[in-house]
Amino acid sequence: MRASKSRSQKTEVRNQNFKTYEIHISGAEGIYEEAEILKIVKGYTKRALDHPRGKPDKIVITIEEIKQEPKKIQLLPVTTLRCKSPDEAKKIIFQMLSDIGVSKKGINNSFKVLNSQKTMRGASLILKESGIRVEPDKERGIRVSRLGIEKSAEKALAWKLSKMRINTTTVREALILASKVTSHPDVTAEICISDDPDYTTGYIATKKLGYLRIPNIKKYGEKHGGRVFIVKEDTDIDSLIHYLEKIPVIVSGVRFD
Ligand code: PML
């Protein structure tokens, strides 16, 4: 599901006073059984219409049959860190990324994307050493798609997250997404700040450290946010994008460490 709102902006271009562009409001993805489709479509529509980023004027829901057997992956383990402010969050992220060899330029460029008022529809790709942004379309970004969780794993996850008092759709979906992203061998880390103004917990995820939730990563009411995937310098970018956007992946196991 993609929900957006169109907005006109005055331009300097001759004979064309206004340019219309789309503001991203909400997005959601999943792999489901045919019998669940109506329920899911209703839920996605409601989510788009009630979104804290505003009322969309366009909601696009695409339903596609998955023909390829999904690749099975494990869910990342979840930890919530202690963090009191966006400044502290930045220090934590800086330290963690430096420890795994991400350059200062790569980290600074990641924060530029995440702090920009112009939120992207998808994620940005940043090279680990040179810090160069390599996603082909800087407005659209990379949209991680075709991802889901098996019913037995979903139950185990709900039980585990309930015990941690964080069993929400937001956490479950972000965790499944981060698990798909970091399952690719060329992805070093993902950093995420929600672009919802009322959601102030973000995360950093790596294969080794798992999914590390960072409270107070931004201030309440702020609309900036997004996702950055930091990737190895010699990554085959087209093949990575194909994996993230097109290859069906399903979580079939939940780690309890
Ligand atoms: C989003 O998709 O809006 C980002 C969600 C971040 C979830 C962080 C968490 O609470 O674990």
| pLDDT tens sequence across 46-59 | 999 998 888 999 99
Q: Are residues 169 and 121 in the same domain?
A: yes
Q: Are residues 181 and 234 in the same domain?
A: yes
What percentage of the chain has pLDDT greater than the value 90?
84
My answer on whether 24 and 146 are in the same domain is no
Residue 155 · residue 253 · CB < 8 Å: no
Q: What is the pLDDT of residue 12?
A: 62
Specify the number of domains making up the chain. Answer: 2
Q: In this structure, is residue 66 part of a structural domain? A: no
What is the residue-wise DSSP string for 114-158? HH-SS--SSBEEEETTT--B--S-TTT-B---SEEE-HHHHHHHH
Distance CA 82, CA 257 (A): 19
Q: Is the pLDDT confidence value at 91 over 70?
A: yes
168 and 98 inside one domain: yes
- Closest atom of ligand 1 to 227 CA is 4
Q: Containing domain of residue 6, as a range?
A: 2-60
* 179-206 pLDDT per residue, tens: 999 999 999 999 999 998 999 999 999 9
Strand partners, 123: 142
Q: Which atom of ligand 1 is nearest to the CA of 195?
A: 3
Asked if residue 178 and residue 85 are part of one domain, the reply reads: yes
Q: Give the pLDDT mean for 78-95.
A: 97
Residues 112 and 202 in one domain: yes
Protein residue with least CA distance to atom 1, ligand 1: 194
Is residue 10 predicted with pLDDT exceeding 80? no
How far away, in angstroms, is 61 Cα from ligand 1 center?
Answer: 21
Per-residue pLDDT at 95 exceeds 80: yes
Measured in Å, residue 15 CA sits from the centre of ligand 1 at 43
Arithmetic mean of pLDDT, 230-247: 98
